[in-house]
């Protein structure tokens, strides 16, 4: 089962086995029925991935409804993905008792109301990141789902990237030693045209912030997933384009084990492919990962050995072994279904989330992981405002 393979204590992650006493009532024959709230870019990304995942027969579910305040967007999604029911108001979707699971794919400003209502309705909840505008808000949502005893899944999509998972495998099967330093440099093209098409991203009251919280909350999650909890943060942010939210963020973090990490995040208008570059230095080895729109690959170098380069196909096939695909023939067929339609990290995330829901377990990553990441984000904003290092532990 994917949940057991990917999320062990040995991997510095949290596994909560039946801790919630989950009260979600599954539909007939345990065929989960899903409702998607939000049919914008991220909602359609999940719909594409879920549709691909269903074609593999690796997961048993149906998407029965979509919802968006923009009724035309909801109708288009329903038509494109052959979904029978549409709603304009998420409250109406939540009254549908046949729906077991909701995906919350809206801007962060909408998350609090939707998650609270979904928990009250007894639905299992997946919510995209950022979960909230602040750590206190995220804590509230975690408490709401815990009180309602419903599973919560957080959208830390990078945990399911094939190269990230391959790096985890390397650390578990080779003697890299203690972590020393990690660095992530991530950039995203944010032109004036993009800003016009996605006006909400430039409004802090809707997005909660700029590149740090809206984009790099994912990077912070990865740094803590590999290096553990953060002890202190020193950060600076910049408003180069003057759009009202930060488009530059630079963080230096000290982790509890004494290792350090740095993060540089930028939204820019240079005509180039988006890129995320990750480096991990350990006492006995080095791992680098290049992700996103350009060439994707991983390189690692252990002391006393030659460097090794891992290409996308190798990493993708490793991901498939993690979801129980053992036959080469089956793997190649499923590889074509998942990879040819959308980056397979989305499909892997949904597989893990839905598998945990059906097993009566709280998914990983979950809202507790989101709270941990948002605590660091809040500390970074505080550090940037005050010009001081902020202690977390």
CATH number for the domain including 57? 3.40.50.720
Domain-embedded: residue 12: yes
Regarding pTM above 0.85, the answer is yes
Residue 92 lies in a domain: yes
* Residues 209 and 72 grouped into a single domain: no
- Structure tokens belonging to residue 167: 């790096």
Mean pLDDT of the chain: 88
Same domain flag for 54 and 149: yes
Residue 393 inside a domain? The answer is: no
Degrees (nearest 5) of the Cα angle 281, 252, 157?
Answer: 70
Task: Give the pLDDT band (50/70/90) at residue 2.
Answer: very low
- Residue 336 binned pLDDT confidence (cut-offs 50, 70, 90): low
Task: Please tell me whether residues 222 and 182 are part of one structural domain.
Answer: yes
Please tell me whether the peptide bond between 365 and the residue prior to it is cis, using omega within 30 degrees of 0: yes
Residues 175 and 311 in one domain: yes
The total number of residues shown for the chain amounts to: 393
Q: Are strands 124-128 and 152-155 parallel, antiparallel or unpaired?
A: parallel
d(CA 8, CA 16) in angstroms, rounded, equals 10
Q: How confident is the model at residue 333 (pLDDT cuts 50, 70, 90)?
A: low
**Is 370 a member of any domain?**
no
Q: Token digits for 326?
A: 């053992």
Give pLDDT, residue 3: 31
Say what the pLDDT of residue 87 is: 99
pLDDT for 322 beyond 90: no
Percent of the chain with pLDDT over 90: 71
Q: How many domains does the chain have?
A: 2
- CATH number, position 225: 3.30.360.10
d(CA 128, CA 312): 25
Judged against a pLDDT cut of 70, whether residue 26 lies above it is answered with no
224 vs 347, higher pLDDT? 224
Q: List strand residue ranges (DSSP E) for 230-307, in order.
A: 230-238, 248-255, 260-268, 275-282, 285-292, 297-302
Selection from 257, 168, 179, 200 nearest residue 42 by Cα: 200
Instruction: Give the per-residue pLDDT at 19.
Output: 31
In a domain, 341, yes or no: no
Q: Do residues 147 and 164 both lie within one domain?
A: no
DSSP codes joined into one string, 77-145: HHHHTT-SEEESSHHHHHT-TT--EEEE-S-GGGHHHHHHHHHHTT-EEEEESS--SSHHHHHHHHHHH
- 179 and 152 co-located in one domain: no
Task: State the Cα angle at 150 between 149 and 152, rounded to 5°.
Answer: 125
342 lies in some domain = no
Which range marks the domain in which residue 59 is found? 2-156+350-365
User: Bridge-partner residues for 87, per DSSP?
Assistant: 67
Q: Please say if the pLDDT value at position 266 is more than 60.
A: yes
In terms of domains, do 65 and 185 share one?
A: no
Q: What is the pLDDT of residue 46?
A: 96
pLDDT at res. 331? 55
Any domain includes 86: yes
pLDDT of residue 69: 97
Q: Please state the rounded mean pLDDT for residues 380-386.
A: 98
- Give tens-digit pLDDT for 87-135: 999 999 999 999 999 999 999 999 999 999 999 999 999 999 999 999 9
169-192 pLDDT per residue, tens: 999 999 999 999 999 999 998 877
Whether residue 48 is found in the same domain as residue 60: yes
Same domain, 226 and 120: no
Helices 162-173 + 312-322 axis angle, to 10: 80
Residue 44 lies in a domain: yes
**Are residues 30 and 122 located together in one domain of the fold?**
yes
The residues near 124 (Cβ < 8 Å, ≥ 6 apart) are 22, 24, 100, 101, 102, 150, 151, 152, 153, 357
What does the pLDDT look like over 244-262, one tens digit per residue? Answer: 899 999 999 999 999 999 9
Say yes or no: 280 and 300 in one domain: yes
Q: Both 99 and 136 in a single domain?
A: yes
């Amino acid at each position: 089962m994917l949940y057991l393979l990917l999320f062990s204590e040995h991997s510095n992650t949290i596994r909560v086995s039946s801790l919630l006493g989950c009260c979600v009532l599954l539909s007939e024959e345990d065929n989960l029925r899903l409702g998607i709230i939000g049919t914008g870019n991220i909602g359609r990304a999940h719909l594409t991935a879920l549709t691909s995942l269903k074609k593999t027969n690796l997961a048993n579910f149906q998407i029965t409804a979509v919802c968006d305040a923009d009724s035309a967007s909801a109708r288009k999604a329903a038509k494109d993905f052959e979904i029978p029911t549409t709603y304009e108001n998420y409250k109406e979707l939540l009254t549908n008792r046949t729906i077991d699971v909701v995906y919350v794919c809206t801007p962060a400003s909408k998350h609090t109301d939707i998650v609270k209502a979904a928990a009250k309705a007894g639905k299992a909840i997946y919510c995209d990141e950022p979960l909230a505008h602040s750590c206190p808000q995220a804590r509230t949502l975690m408490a709401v789902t815990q009180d309602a005893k419903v599973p919560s899944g957080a959208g830390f999509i990078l945990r399911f990237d094939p190269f990230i998972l391959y790096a985890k495998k390397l650390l578990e099967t080779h003697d890299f030693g203690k972590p020393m330093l990690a660095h992530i440099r991530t950039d995203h093209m944010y032109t004036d045209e993009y800003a016009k098409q996605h006006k909400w991203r430039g409004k802090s009251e809707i997005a909660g912030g700029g590149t740090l919280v809206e984009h790099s909350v994912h990077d912070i999650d990865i740094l803590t997933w590999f290096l553990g909890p953060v002890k202190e943060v020193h950060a600076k942010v910049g408003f180069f384009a003057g759009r009202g939210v930060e488009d530059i963020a630079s963080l230096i973090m000290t982790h509890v084990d004494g290792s350090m990490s740095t993060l540089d995040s930028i939204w820019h208008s240079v005509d180039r492919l988006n890129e995320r570059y990750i480096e991990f230095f350990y006492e006995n080895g080095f791992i680098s990962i290049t992700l996103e729109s350009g060439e994707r690959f991983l390189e690692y170098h252990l002391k006393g050995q030659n460097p090794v380069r891992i290409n996308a196909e190798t990493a993708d096939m490793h991901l498939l072994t993690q979801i129980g695909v053992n036959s080469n023939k089956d793997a190649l067929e499923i590889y074509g279904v998942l990879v040819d339609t959308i980056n397979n990290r989305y499909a892997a995330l949904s597989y893990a989330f839905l598998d945990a829901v059906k097993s009566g377990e709280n998914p990983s990553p979950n809202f507790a992981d989101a709270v941990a990441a948002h605590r660091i984000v809040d500390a970074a904003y505080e550090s940037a405002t005050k010009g001081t290092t902020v202690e977390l532990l």
